[in-house]
Amino acid sequence: MWGSGESGTNIEKLKEIQKNCALKVIKKDDFKEVKTVGGMDLTFEKLDKNPTRAWASLVIIELNTLKPIYDLVIEEEVSFPYIPTFLAFREMPLLLKLYEKAKVKPDIFFIDGQGIAHPRRCGIASHFGVETGQVSIGVAKTKLFGYYKEPPDSRGSFTYLKYRDEILGAVVRTKEKSAPIFVSIGHRISLRTAISLVLQTSRFRIPEPTRLAHNLLQQVRRKSLF
C-alpha cells in the first residue's frame, strides 16, 4: 500500500486509497484511559530531492508530568516524490517502521500533520491510525484545507476549521498571543478530547510530544550531516 510499489504515482489510485481510509476513521473516543502520549515527526535531508535521506522520531511522555520516558529515531532513504495532499505516501513507510521498532507504545499518538482536515478526509495522522489501529491526533502548524476565524488571543481558545458545513478540526491557541495550531481527529478519538489533550500537553505553542520529537530529530540530523 505504501511507497512506490503497486500504486506508484497514479494520482487517481492514491485518491481511492485515501477515500477508503477515510471511511474507516473512527471519530469518537474508543479507548479507556490515557497515561502516555507519543509524538511522531519526520524530516528530510533534501525536501526537494528524490530519493533522499529521511529521519523519523518518536518521543513518549507521561501525561501527568509531561516528562519524556522513551525516544527512538530511525533513518532510511525515501523514494516516493513529494506531492501536495499525498504526504502520507512519502512518509508513512518510515513512520510504520518506527512504530514497529519502538519497544514502548504510547496510549495516543500525536502526528505532525493532518488527520481528517484533508481534502479527502484522510491525512497522515488518519492513515497512521487506521493502518496501525492506534489512537491518533493530527497536530499541524499550518492549515492544509478548509476555512476558519482566528481564535481569541487567550490560551485555550479555539475556533472550528470547516469546509462548507462540515467541521474538519479546530484552530487552537496553545499559547497566549502565539500563532494557533491545527488539531484534527486522526483515528479512534473525538475532536473535543483531541483538543483537550493537546492543551493538556502544551507548555509552548507546539505540544510537548511533537515538540520534543522535532527537537530530537534536529539534533540527530545535524550530527548525521556534519
Q: H/E/C letters for each residue in the chain?
A: CCCCCCCCCCHHHHHHHHHHHHHHCCCCCCCCCCCEEEEEEEEECCCCCCCEEEEEEEEEEECCCCCEEEEEEEEEEECCCCCCCCHHHHHHHHHHHHHHHCCCCCCEEEEECCCCCCCCCCCHHHHHHHHHCCEEEEEECCCCCCECCCCCCCCCCEEEEEECCEEEEEEECCCCCCCCEEEEEEECCCHHHHHHHHHHCCCCCCCHHHHHHHHHHHHHHHHHHC
Task: Give the span between the Cα atoms of 188 and 46, in whole angstroms.
Answer: 34
Q: Which residues contact 186 (CB under 8 A, 6 or more apart)?
A: 25, 109, 111, 115, 116, 125, 126, 128, 129, 135, 136, 137, 138, 194
Tens of pLDDT along 180-207? Answer: 999 999 999 999 999 999 999 999 999 9
Strand pairing category for 36-44 and 108-112: parallel
Please state the domain extents for the chain.
11-225
Q: Which residue has the cell 502520549?
A: 37
Identify any residues that bridge with 217 across adjacent strands, giving them in sequence order.
Answer: none
Task: Give the span between the Cα atoms of 222 and 112, in whole angstroms.
Answer: 20
Kindly report the pTM of this predicted structure: 0.94
Cell of 14: 492514491
Contact 144, 114 (CB under 8 A): yes
Tens of pLDDT along 126-169? Answer: 999 999 999 999 999 999 999 999 999 999 999 999 999 999 99
Tens of pLDDT along 63-78? Answer: 999 999 999 999 999 9
Closest by CA position to 134, among listed 70, 186, 190, 210 = 186
**pLDDT of res. 6:** 41
Tens of pLDDT along 25-49? Answer: 999 999 999 999 999 999 999 877 7
- Kindly indicate whether the domain formed by 11-225 is annotated with CATH number 3.30.750.210: no
Contact 38, 60 (CB under 8 A): yes
